[in-house]
Structure 1
Amino acid sequence: MLYLYTLAMYLVTPIIVLRLLARGVRYRDYHKRWRERFGFFEAPGFAGSLWVHAVSVGEVNAAEPLIKALRNDYPNAPLVVTTVTPTGSERVRQLFGDSVFHVYLPYDLPFAVTRFMRRVRPRLAIIVETEIWPNLYFACRNRGIPLMIVNARLSERSLRGYKPMGSLVARALGCVSQIAAQSRTDAARYRELGADPEKIVVTGNLKFDMPVPYDAELKGDELRHQWGRLRPAWIAGSTHEGEELPVLEAHLEVLTRWPDALLLIAPRHPERFKLVENSARSLGFTVGTRSADRVPSASHQVFVIDAMGELMPFYAASDLAFVGGSLVPIGGHNVLEPAALSTPVLVGPHTFNFEEITLTLIQEGGATRVSSAEELGAHVLQLLRDEPRRDRMGMVARIVFDSERGAVKRVMGMIDRLLQE
């Protein structure tokens, strides 16, 4: 199975390269540093590094408190952070600057993985959430490098996707020293995939331990002052194709009741910034953008947040937040960011990426599920009309967020034991 898998990886490599070139037409960072994806980069000249892999922006944000804890507890150990996407890379730079060594994760080809390992020389490998790459995992085992999966989650869809390679995935998971699962459901799915039950511990979600920027609420208050404290304002965060148009149509409904209402919209991917701005203008909205206007003015009906890593103050400034990736089958994004700022949350029907967190928020009353795109406008209108309900939802959301913290401490205990061994 490993031979066939590796052969398949070599066969699809030309297609992968063509995809890189194609995506680079729209997003130039895909053309930069592409050699890193094959393990070609200048060796940083250290050994015994602590290596954390986080695929993209969401995983980097989840890993932030853990990386900071590693930096604090192991100040003399070099820290390596790998990502797959340019947006993830940019987020690493924003959060950590030069305090970590960042490089793209190599493709799961034996020569690329070997070259990567020889350059970063890790003493511990930490995979955030779910990335099962057999050649990478076997390379860690063959070199005696302890491998952990932390904040481990496995949706039903991902489980079905791994099943056709069941025996190979089970062997790869045999290389893992510890799996720190987000929930009992995730732990059960990893067991079903073939992981050793004795290596699985339910530690909770690292994202509950994410630092809430100390000035997020202050900046949110300043934003609110800029555009008018009495204006109804709602935000659609981390939206995808297939969601922006329903969001804009929902805002048309809102404007029939509150002509001065403001929609803040933050597309998940930078290549969609201009598309969303143009879509809003084509529907007749007066549009502002973060890059051109910095803050919404009294005349703006829609404001596009065309910047990365700036959502928190806007969540703090909003009356309610719709969290994207949930009206389309992406699986939803991080509902904890608005919850941490006591902002009521709306989500669509597709939240399998954050299944248990979202259900907890809904059951406790901090979030509401919208069953379809057509219903979004009605739900936004209901919440904007009902300030006491918004206040209750925001308070409950913050209580849920605070009550679930502590995963980083539990994961760090596991890391300490592995490194001592």
Structure 2
Amino acid sequence: MRYLYTLAMYLATPLLVLRLLTRGVRYGNYHRRWPERFGVFDVPAAIHGGLWVHAVSVGEVNAAEPLIKALKRDYPNAPLVVTTVTPTGSARVQQLFGGEVFHVYLPYDLPFAVKRFLRRLRPRLALIVETEIWPNLYFACRRRGIPLMIVNARLSERSLRGYRPLRAVLRSALRQVRVAAQSRTDAARYRLLGADPGLITVSGNLKFDMPVPYDAVREGEALRQRWGRLRPVWIAASTHEGEELAALEAHLKVLKRLPDALLLIAARHPERFRAVEHAVRSLGFSLATRSGDGVPGAVHQVFVIDSMGELMPFYAAADVAFVGGSLTPIGGHNVLEPAALSRPVLVGPHTFNFEEITLTLLREGGGERLDDSAELGPRVLDLLGDRERRERMGRQARRVFDSERGAVRRVMQLVDGLLQE
């Protein structure tokens, strides 16, 4: 099975190169770093023997932020390496940590690329964030005696089904890999995938331990002062294709009752910023954008947040938050950010990526689920018109966030144990 898997990876290499070319057009400097995807990069000797954290993209980097900060605090003399897969993930690493960590792209799971990558870095420990199971990489770490742990591990039912054809090779790859799962459900799915039950721990979700930045609260307050403290404002965040149109149609309903209402909209992927702006203009809304206008004025009805890493201040400035990826079968995105800022949360029917967290939030009264996009406008209107209910839901959302903290401490105990071994 492993031979067939590796053969498939080699056969897919031309498609991987084509993908690099496409991304090189979309992200200007990305083409200069293509060799990294095949394990070719310059590395300072001081990086050898460091602690390596892999986070696929922006969401995983954000989840790993409190863990990386804890590693820096507890192991101040250990070099830190952070790998990502996407250019947006790379940009987020740079934004959060600058030169404090060494960033390089994770190589494709080709034996020669993985071997070259590990030979250059020589890490003492590998921490893989959430769900990234690359058999050749895992086998290579085991051969070199590099302890490997999947932290903040989550595995949806759909992902488990998708891994089924590779179950045999994954069971072998996961041997001796420690798993720090987000929830009991995730732990059970990793057992079904073939992980050693004795090496699986339920540590909770790292995202609950993310700091609530004072700057975000302060910036949110400044934004409210700018466009009017009493103005009704809601945000549609981390949206995907189809959800922006649903949000805009909902906003048309909101404006009929609340003509001074403002919608903040942030697409999940930067390559869709222009498409969202075009959709807003085509529907006749008065528009402002983050890149063009900075902040919206009193005359604007929709504000497109066409920037990365700035959601928290806008969550802080909104009265109600809709979290995208949930009206379409993407699986939903992070509900903890608005919850941390005491904002009531709305989600669609598809939240399997954050299943237990979302269910807890709904059960405790910090959020509400929509059956479909048609419900978005009426639910937003109800909440914007009922301040007492909004504040009650916001308090419950924050209570859920606070009650689940502690995952970083539990993961760091496991890290300490691995390094001592």
Residue 223 of structure 2 contacts residue 317 of structure 2 at CA under 8 Å; is this kept in 1?
yes
- Counting only pairs closer than 5 Å after superposition, residues 127-146 of structure 1 correspond to structure 2 as 127-146=128-147
The Cα shift of 1:310 comes to 0.6
Q: What's the TM-score once normalised by structure 1's chain length?
A: 0.98
Counterpart CA distance in 2 for 1:44 and 1:182 is 34
Amino acid at match of 2:164: K
Q: Distance in 1 between matches of 2:220 and 2:63?
A: 22
Structure 1 residues 209-229: Cα deviation after superposition (integer angstroms, max 9, x where no partner) = 001112221111100010111
1:198 is matched with 198
Q: Is the 8 A contact 2:176 2:199 kept in 1?
A: no
Unaligned runs of 5+ in 2: none
Deviation by residue 1:128-174 (Cα, 9 ceiling, x = unmatched): 00111000000000000000000000000000011111110100110
Q: Counterparts of 1:389 and 1:235 in 2: how far apart (Å)?
A: 17
Which residue identity lines up with residue 272 of structure 2 in the other structure? R
User: What is the CA-CA distance between 1:30 and the residue it aligns to?
Assistant: 4.1
8 Å Cα contact 1:140-1:175 kept in structure 2:
no
**Structure 1 regions of 5+ residues with no counterpart?**
none
Partner-residue secondary structure (3-state), 1:82? strand
Aligned partner letter, 2:266: A
Matched, 1:44 2:54: no
In 2, Cα distance between equivalents of 1:285 and 1:206: 39
**1:378 aligned partner:** 378
Contact 1:44 1:119 in 2 (8 A): no
Map residues 15-414 of structure 1 onto 2, 5 A cutoff.
15-46=15-46, 47-176=48-177, 178-414=178-414
Displaced runs of 4 or more, over 6 A: none
Distance 1:163 1:30 in 2: 33
Deviations 1:358-408 (A, max 9, x none): 000000000000111121111111111111110100000000000100000
TM-superposition CA deviations, 1:255-299 (whole Å, max 9, x none): 111111100001111111111111101100111011111111001
CA–CA distance in structure 2, aligned partners of residues 349 and 368 of structure 1: 10
SS in 2 for 1:35: helix
| Secondary structure in 2 matching 1:201 | strand
Specify the code of the residue in structure 1 equivalent to 2:92.
Answer: R
Q: What's 2:10 paired with? A: 10
Aligned-pair distance for 1:26?
Answer: 3.3
Query: Secondary structure of the equivalent of 1:33?
Result: helix
Task: Return the alpha-carbon distance in structure 1 between the equivalents of residues 252 and 29 of structure 2.
Answer: 35
Within 1, Cα distance between the matches of 2:361 and 2:380? 17
User: Are the aligned partners of 1:324 and 1:347 in contact in 2 as well (CA < 8 Å)?
Assistant: yes
Aligned-partner residue type, residue 250 of structure 1: A
Q: Name the SS for the 2:272 alignment partner.
A: helix
Larger deviation, residues 20-29 vs 326-335: 20-29
Return closer, same or farther for 1:110/1:175 CA change in 2, 3 Å cut-off.
Answer: farther
Residue identity opposite 2:219 in structure 1? K
Q: Give the alignment's Cα RMSD to 1 decimal.
A: 0.9
Offset from partner CA, 1:289-340 (integer Å, 9 cap, x none)? 1111111100110001111111101101100000011111111111000000
Q: Equivalents in 2 of 1:26, 1:201: separation in Å? A: 40
C-alpha contact 1:21 1:30 (8 A) present in aligned 2: no
Range moving further from structure 2, 23-32 or 127-136: 23-32
Contact 2:366–2:395, Cα closer than 8 Å, also in 1: yes
Structure 1 residue matching 2:163: 3-state secondary structure: helix
| CA shift digits 1:161-212 (9 cap, x unpaired) | 1111111010011041x11000000000000111110000001000000011
Shift of 1:29: 4.6
2:59 counterpart SS class:
helix
Count of matched residue pairs: 420
On the 8 A contact 1:137/1:175 being kept in 2, the answer is no
Distance 2:269 2:399 in 1: 30
- Superposition TM-score, scaled by structure 2 size: 0.98
SS in 2 for 1:234: strand
